[in-house]
């Protein structure tokens, strides 16, 4: 038995108890906040319990003097089946690290006040999520807001006179408003589309508010979208990165798609709107730009506005262009016109002359820079990793980075040399006691003689004289790169720890290999990208250490679709399949999903348009059309709150397998969405996953 130590970080205790309560009474009334723990392992291999014990670093905020970071770390408690986020501070050199909160309510969205004297944050300590402030050392904790519905994010005005925040506003035409004498009715009446989205029914939407900040409290609240039934930020993934103050504190720019119902379901056309705080007037800054326009960032001198822009309406995976508006001349320019990559996570240098951003190329997410004067774009970092964010901090950059062999940590980057230094070590004591498998980059020739990057992940303690079963990993999206990501469900090191070789190809339809490679998949489901999958597994299965008679295929979302399709077209290559939240019947998928722009673009349109050749090809390649060929054991996983690909898709596939007389199993979660987010559900997922594979491949 090895003692595996998860570090207990420095804790600055903060007392929230009533003055009349003794410490003993408070301890009895309030359970110990969730945090890092110590426990014992039987081996140095990853287990689901270990995976759920890593600290997860959240959003980072840089102090005004560029010396200190404030950020959250979330830990999960398996027994309590929940997580808790606490706030920490660390110097940008990494030599000072302190925990500054210690509560059960969780703290989120840290923001340094512009004068640097306080850290603002969100906490549900008082019931609903509210804005609080504290001193940088965690003392002097004080509730600032008292918004009835709670708030979901906030930002100080640069001059510290106001605060903008986002909060949910109830939809107007609810049954309870229509019939107040039926307060207990559970019925809903729909007369348009987008009545539910991602994992919730659309009974409310997010609005942007501005409030005066006086004597460390909020006053004179102003809904800047008053009487407008639109949401900002964009559901379901948008946050405060989609809203910003102008440096003079006189205006707010927010991201919004001013559409509703059917029109909202069919369009991705969002715009950037500038709201003048004094005149209370709004101007559309990106009118006529038809795709997603989002995540605005002002230059520190106020002369420029940069943002992420997609060109085409209805295409959610279009290239993320780097647009900059010169606010003096009111002209816009696409600085990534000759840059065949995405640009996201934009951040200005202090002199307003350089933009830093994250971009993927060949399945590696690196930090890049744009020189505004010359238009030159340069890659600033190298290495086998994924950077997830970058913040200029004086003469260096602060970035968050992960890989297939480790979760997110914080790094310092020299922008002149690209030298990188790790400054946070949240998970190092845990990682030091685990053995991970080797990750190898391979380029495999496809059926049309192109080169495809494929990651091969080996088991820890790999022995080339032995033979191992192998898993083909099918990526979701469909347009999302198989980069150096660290996942808390589809974790390649977890799979490898169970003595599987993982084959993870960057098949057709993934970003980071140019526009043509990315866009080939649209309208070609079941086409070239499936040939790419088979090319990858066929090439690797020829290795002497791979048992070609013990191959499996696994995947979620589009990866789940891929598994269902391969089940009817694999020519007996595979001995086991696992499909999570996959599309099985594309005809029903067209009418069941909520974001219709997705199926219109990627499938080509509705299944009833017999004149549409692209759509007819798509529906002819629906996995349910090949069930007659199914001959392999199948595990199906699906969740009730997944409104992107509804649970009946998984039920159809499972029922088909049972009716075909095949070994099949159905893992169903009534309380999860397109992901599995609760600790005990996540562990059940892992155990079921490997029990199924071990049964048929070992």
The question of whether 461 is a catalytic residue gets the answer: no
- Give the separation between CA 563 and CA 550, rounded to whole angstroms: 16
CB 295 within 8 A of CB 346: yes
Q: Are strands 468-474 and 546-556 parallel, antiparallel or unpaired?
A: parallel
Which residue of the set 197, 385, 624, 674 is catalytic? 674
Catalytic residue (choose from 145, 535, 541, 557)? 557
Query: Strand 243-245 relative to strand 217-223: parallel, antiparallel, unpaired?
Result: unpaired
Closest CA relative to residue 189, chosen from 171, 203, 175, 205: 175
Task: Please confirm, yes or no, whether 207 is among the known catalytic residues.
Answer: no
Q: Do 508 and 427 touch, CB atoms closer than 8 A? A: no
Give the residues across from 398 on adjacent strands: 391, 412
Are 162 and 153 spatial neighbours (Cβ–Cβ below 8 Å)? no
Residue 63's nearest CA partner among 26, 24, 110, 4 is 110
Q: Calculate the dihedral angle through the C-alpha atoms of 385, 294, 199, 692, rounding to the nearest 10 degrees.
A: -20
642 part of the active site: yes
Which residue among the candidates 342, 581, 602, 642 is catalytic per the annotation? 642
CA distance 27 to 249: 44
Nearest partner of 145 among 154, 157, 136, 135, judged by Cα: 154
Tokens of 555: 């995947």
Task: Identify the CA nearest to 135 among candidates 155, 152, 113, 156.
Answer: 113
Strand order in the sheet with 501-505: 439-445, 451-457, 501-505, 468-474, 546-556, 576-580, 634-639, 664-669
Burial letters 101-124, b for 16+ CB under 10 A, else e: bbbebbbbbbbbbeeeebbbbbbe
CA distances from 327 to 229, 305, 324 (A): 29, 7, 9
Assess contact for 112 and 70: CB atoms under 8 A. Answer: yes
Q: Are strands 576-580 and 546-556 parallel, antiparallel or unpaired?
A: parallel
DSSP 413-464: E-TTT--EEE---TTHHHHTT-----EEEEEEE-TTS-EEEEEEEPPTT--T
Nearest to 2 by CA among 34, 38, 31, 28: 38
Q: Which two tokens stand for residue 363?
A: 């399945």
Q: What 3 state SS string does 100-148 have?
A: CCCCCCCEEEEEECCCCCCEEEEECCCCCCEEEEECCCCCCCEECCCCC
Q: How far is 575 from 606, CA to CA, in rounded Å? A: 34
Q: Is the omega angle on the peptide bond into residue 87 within 30 degrees of 0, that is, cis?
A: no
The 3-state DSSP class for residue 259 equals coil
Closest Cα partner for 489 from 52, 79, 84?
Answer: 52
d(CA 253, CA 343): 20
- On the CB side of 30, CA atoms within 13 Å amount to 19
Contact 228, 257 (CB under 8 A): no
Catalytic residues: 557, 642, 674
């Amino acid at each position: 038995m090895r003692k595996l130590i998860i570090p207990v970080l420095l804790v600055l205790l903060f007392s929230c108890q009533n003055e009349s309560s003794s410490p003993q009474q408070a301890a009895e009334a309030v359970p110990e906040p969730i945090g890092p723990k110590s426990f014992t392992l039987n081996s140095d291999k990853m287990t689901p319990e270990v995976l759920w014990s890593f600290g997860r670093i959240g959003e980072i905020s840089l102090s005004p003097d560029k010396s200190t970071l404030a950020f959250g770390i979330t830990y999960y408690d398996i027994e309590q089946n929940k997580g808790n986020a606490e706030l920490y501070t660390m110097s940008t050199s990494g030599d000072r690290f302190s925990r500054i909160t210690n509560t059960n309510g969780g703290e989120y969205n840290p923001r340094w006040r512009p004068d640097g004297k306080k850290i603002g944050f969100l906490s549900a300590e008082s019931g609903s999520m509210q804005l609080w402030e504290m001193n940088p050392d965690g003392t002097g904790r004080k509730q600032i807001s008292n918004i009835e519905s709670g708030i979901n994010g906030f930002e100080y005005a640069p001059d510290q006179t106001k605060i903008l925040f986002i909060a949910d506003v109830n939809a107007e035409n609810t049954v309870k408003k229509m019939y107040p004498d039926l307060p207990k009715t559970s019925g809903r009446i729909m007369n348009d589309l987008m009545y539910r989205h991602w994992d919730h029914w659309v009974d409310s939407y997010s609005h942007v508010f501005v409030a005066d900040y006086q004597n460390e409290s909020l006053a004179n609240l102003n809904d800047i979208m008053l009487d407008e039934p639109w949401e900002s930020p964009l559901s379901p993934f948008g946050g405060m990165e989609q809203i910003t103050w102008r440096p003079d504190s006189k205006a707010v720019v927010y991201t919004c798609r001013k559409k509703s119902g059917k029109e909202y379901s069919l369009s991705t056309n969002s715009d950037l709107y500038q709201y003048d705080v004094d005149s209370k007037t709004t101007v559309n800054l990106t009118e006529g730009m038809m795709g997603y326009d989002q995540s605005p960032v002002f230059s520190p001198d106020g002369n420029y506005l940069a943002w992420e822009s997609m060109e085409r309406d209805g295409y959610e995976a279009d290239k993320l262009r780097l647009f900059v508006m010169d606010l003096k001349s009111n002209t816009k320019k696409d600085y990534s016109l000759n840059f065949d990559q995405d640009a996201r996570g934009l951040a200005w240098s202090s002199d307003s002359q350089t933009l830093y951003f994250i971009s993927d190329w060949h399945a590696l997410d690196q930090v890049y820079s744009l020189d505004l004067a010359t238009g030159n774009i340069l890659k600033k970092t190298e290495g086998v990793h994924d950077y997830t964010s970058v913040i200029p901090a004086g003469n260096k950059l602060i970035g968050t980075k992960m890989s297939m062999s480790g979760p997110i940590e914080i790094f310092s980057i020299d922008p002149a040399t690209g030298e990188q230094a790790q400054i946070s070590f949240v998970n190092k004591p845990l990682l030091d006691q685990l053995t991970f498998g080797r990750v190898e980059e391979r380029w495999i020739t496809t059926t049309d003689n192109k080169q495809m990057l494929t990651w091969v992940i080996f088991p820890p303690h790999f022995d080339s004289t032995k033979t191992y079963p192998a898993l083909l990993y099918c990526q979701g999206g469909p347009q999302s790169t198989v980069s150096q990501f660290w996942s808390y469900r589809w974790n390649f090191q977890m799979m490898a720890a169970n003595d599987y070789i993982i084959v993870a190809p960057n098949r057709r339809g993934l970003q980071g290999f140019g526009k043509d490679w990315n866009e080939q998949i649209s309208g070609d489901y079941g086409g070239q990208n499936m040939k790419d999958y088979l090319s990858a597994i066929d090439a690797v299965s020829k290795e002497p250490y791979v048992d070609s008679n013990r191959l499996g295929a696994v995947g979620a979302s589009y990866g789940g679709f891929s598994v269902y399709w391969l089940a009817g077209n694999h020519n007996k290559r595979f001995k086991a399949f696992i499909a999570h939240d996959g599309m099985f019947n594309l005809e029903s998928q067209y009418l069941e999903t909520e974001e219709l722009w997705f199926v219109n673009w990627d499938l080509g349109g509705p299944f009833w348009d017999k004149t549409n050749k692209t759509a007819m090809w798509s529906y002819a390649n629906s996995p349910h059309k090949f069930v007659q060929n199914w001959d392999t054991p199948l595990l199906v996983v699906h969740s009730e709150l997944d409104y992107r690909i509804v649970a009946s898709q998984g039920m159809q596939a499972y029922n088909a397998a049972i009716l075909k007389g095949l070994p099949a199993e159905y893992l169903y979660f009534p309380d999860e969405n397109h992901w599995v987010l609760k600790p005990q559900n996540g562990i059940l997922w892992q155990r079921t996953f490997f029990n199924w594979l071990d049964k048929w491949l070992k």
